[in-house]
Structure 1
Amino acid sequence: MNDLTVVIVDDHSIFRSGLRSELDPALRVLGEAATVDEAIAVVVATQPRVVLLDVHLPGGTGGGGAEVIRAAAPLAPSTLFLALSVSDAADDVVTVIRAGARGYITKSASGAEVSEAARRVAGGDAVFSPRLAGFVLDAFGAVAGETAATTDELDRLSAREQEVMRLIARGYAYKEVASALFISPKTVETHVSAVLRKLQLSSRHELTAWATARKLL
């Protein structure tokens, strides 16, 4: 994807400048922000495709990155948010994803990895650091079955197939799912084939749309 526009939000100027220098040149940085209020203003003013968003930020009412998403998203409908934080605490992950972030990666990621994650988010995928998968599954597994129809559909899947389905729908690669669930990529492939067959879907893109429509992400 060429000329992907981004905004960098972090309260440490050294991190912002370092990340900016390491991002793929094809990612065009429209602005930076250090606080909740600055972030909301910059995102609304520039309308970037992706915001690289720290979870803990000063300002606002104390809600950090989640507050930025809740305030800015309605005013920047085409903007997507990718959390980028030193924290891998379950509460932080769950809070920002519930607010609407399309992914969550840790700051141990390289510039190339952040660039690729931004591209994937911009392309419609959900992106998470593999070790965060358990938090995401625990936090969002309970939303399955909000309607009788969804319950019936999910009942066709085994517990393991449901785990694989959610991770694949969020944009994980087969190898990432395998690592998160401690199974082989071949086993993941087998589960995905079974999920698609049982749900009468033809591709992982259809699976993502299916899961999104049923609020399973």
Structure 2
Amino acid sequence: MNPPRRIVIVDDHRIFRAGLRAELGGSVDVIGEASTVDEAADLIRQVLPEVVLLDVHMPGGTGGGGAEVVKRCRDVLEKVKFLALSVSDEASDVVSVIRAGARGYVTKTIGTEELLAAVETVAEGDAVFSPRLAGFVLDAFGASGLVDNVRDEELDRLSAREVEVMRLIARGYTYREIASELFISIKTVETHVSKVLRKLQLSSRHELTRWAEQRRIV
């Protein structure tokens, strides 16, 4: 028998967190709770749960709510999966948190057994949405690749040439090899890399490689 999934509950209402913990019982292992963006990001990076049950609207950070939590944890998305659990069924909320990197979105009207099934689904790396919300995601991202092939807002900031350079960097090419491949100077490669890092708010080649791998655009 497999051990229960290790999860963190992120919601700014203590009573809701307590109720959810009680409702889920021993079916999951709740290893932590958080009520603000800052608390959540710090906790998640420390304990690395398998799944985070994430509210969309919450205080703290720079006002980005649940989407900001996911963005702050982008470097651990291979280990940690995010499932949005919210009272909101607004298309903008659904799209923003999925665009940030969450694997699913369900509303708080969901039943216990359905929620446990959703936790298991995202833990395995698949996407899950409440039926009505799936349409928002399809409209925003298209039917192919639902989550994995999303061209998110960050990628759209890059020029075609910057995307080429970013992809080659992620594949392990040296600056000299990129310059040869694209028929440009090494100095130009360095300039493109600097611009890409700045636009994506990344600090190193390693972070850039992980960013590209998570979106499967290497």
Normalised to the residue count of structure 2, the TM-score between the two structures is 0.64
Residue number in structure 1 paired with 2:44 = 43
Following TM superposition, by how much is the alpha carbon of 1:102 offset from its aligned partner in structure 2, in angstroms?
Answer: 0.1
Runs of 4+ in structure 1 over 2 Å off: 212-215
Q: Which aligned pairs between 1:8-157 and structure 2 lie closer than 5 A?
A: 8-75=9-76, 77-141=78-142
Aligned residue pair count: 152
SS of the residue corresponding to residue 69 of structure 1 reads helix
Alignment RMSD (CA, Å): 2.3
For 1:38 and 1:12, the matched residues in 2 are separated by 14
Deviation readout 1:6-38 (Å, 9 max, x if unpaired): 000000011101111111513100100000001
Following TM superposition, by how much is the alpha carbon of 1:113 offset from its aligned partner in structure 2, in angstroms?
Answer: 1.6
SS of the residue corresponding to residue 8 of structure 1 reads strand
| Equivalent pair of 2:81/2:125 in contact (CA under 8 Å) | no
Q: Give 5+ residue unaligned stretches, structure 2.
A: 150-214
Q: Over alpha carbons, which structure has the higher Rg?
A: 2
SS of the residue corresponding to residue 87 of structure 1 reads coil
SS of the residue corresponding to residue 122 of structure 2 reads helix
Deviation readout 1:132-161 (Å, 9 max, x if unpaired): 1211111102xxxxxxxxxxxxxxxxxxxx
For 2:216 and 2:64, the matched residues in 1 are separated by 27
Cα 1:76–1:139 change in 2 (3 A) is closer
| Equivalent pair of 1:9/1:52 in contact (CA under 8 Å) | yes
Following TM superposition, by how much is the alpha carbon of 1:115 offset from its aligned partner in structure 2, in angstroms?
Answer: 1.3
| Equivalent pair of 2:82/2:104 in contact (CA under 8 Å) | yes
Q: How many percent identity over aligned positions?
A: 58
Deviation readout 1:70-94 (Å, 9 max, x if unpaired): 0023146400100000000000000
Residue number in structure 2 paired with 1:188 = none
Residue number in structure 2 paired with 1:207 = none
Residue type at the aligned position of 2:55: D
Normalised to the residue count of structure 1, the TM-score between the two structures is 0.65
Residue type at the aligned position of 2:11: D
Deviation readout 1:153-193 (Å, 9 max, x if unpaired): xxxxxxxxxx4x667x99xxxxxxxxxxxxxxxxxxxxxxx
For 2:113 and 2:17, the matched residues in 1 are separated by 15
